Amino acid sequence: MGRFQRAEAAGLIAFLACALFGMIVMSIYINTMPAIWQVTQRLFTMASGVVAACSMCTFVVGYLRTHKGILKKNWLQIVKHAFEIIALSTIYGATMLLMSFALLSIINSIIGRSAVNTYLPVLCCALSGIVGYATLVQAELLEAKTVASLLPLFVISGAATAGLTSDDPYWYNNNFSQLGDRTTFAASMFNATLILAGICIIITSYFAITEFVATQHEI
């Protein structure tokens, strides 16, 4: 079995595991938490957090599968790999958190809150499975261009989430002209997206340079 086939087979296992995890966690949350914790934004935040957790865990698994000899290397190499795992899993987790929250908000605006809340465990199950599969496959076939492609997705998802959760029709103007001057969830999300986008640029640049240097050595 080739590298791509192994990655896809592992991805399918990750899909099933993450889908089951998402379904169980959201079902328990909805059935046990009090009403104050089941308002729409908190439900969406919880579901998005489950999806993000699946993304981070599957990335770590996929990365370690392709770097099985990490502990046999010197401590500098171990530190380097630890930094890569933390940095990249953070990027994947943050991106999937924002993307899933934005997607749930769009679905909510289309079919209504009651329908979304009823089927939220199923939606969380589907999103967790898809994200788990995609993240594990990407982690095993990791390239700088893959990491770079997450940046526009992260920024778009964060800005979309801020807009969809705002109760102010002029949020666009207010947040651009008065960053940090608002205390709403939408303003905080928008500002956090801009800050984390800068961090993502730094991390992406690091991996692009690392891959470029490795390619030059091979040549």
Render 158-200 in DSSP notation, one character per residue.
HHHHHHHT-S-TTHHHHHHHSTT---SHHHHHHHHHHHHHHHH
Both 187 and 172 in one domain: the answer is yes
Higher pLDDT pick, 69 / 60: 60
Same domain for 148 and 100, yes or no, is: no
State which of 142, 172, 197 marks the end of a domain: 142
Same structural domain, 57 and 158: no
Q: Domain check: are 132 and 46 in the same one?
A: yes
| 174 and 134 together in one domain | no
Indicate the pTM of the whole model.
0.75
> What number of CA atoms fall less than 13 Å from residue 9's CA on the CB side?
7
Same domain, 31 and 115: yes
pLDDT (tens digit per residue) in 126-177? 999 999 998 998 888 776 667 666 777 777 777 777 777 777 666 666 655 5
Last residue of a domain, which of 122, 142, 162?
142
In this prediction, residue 26 carries a pLDDT of 93
Q: Residue 199: name the closest of 155, 145, 135 by CA.
A: 155
Domain that holds residue 207: 143-218
Query: Is 93 found in the same domain as 2?
Result: yes
* Same domain for 106 and 96: yes
Where does residue 184 rank: exposed (0-12), middle (13-18), buried (19+ CB within 10 A)? middle
Residue 122 and residue 154 in one domain: no
Indicate whether 67 and 100 sit together in one domain.
Answer: yes
C-beta of residue 7 within 8 angstroms of C-beta of residue 136: yes
Q: What is the pLDDT of residue 131?
A: 93
Indicate if 128 and 148 belong to the same structural domain.
Answer: no
Co-location of 181 and 138 in the same domain = no
Based on the structure, what is the number of domains in the chain? 2
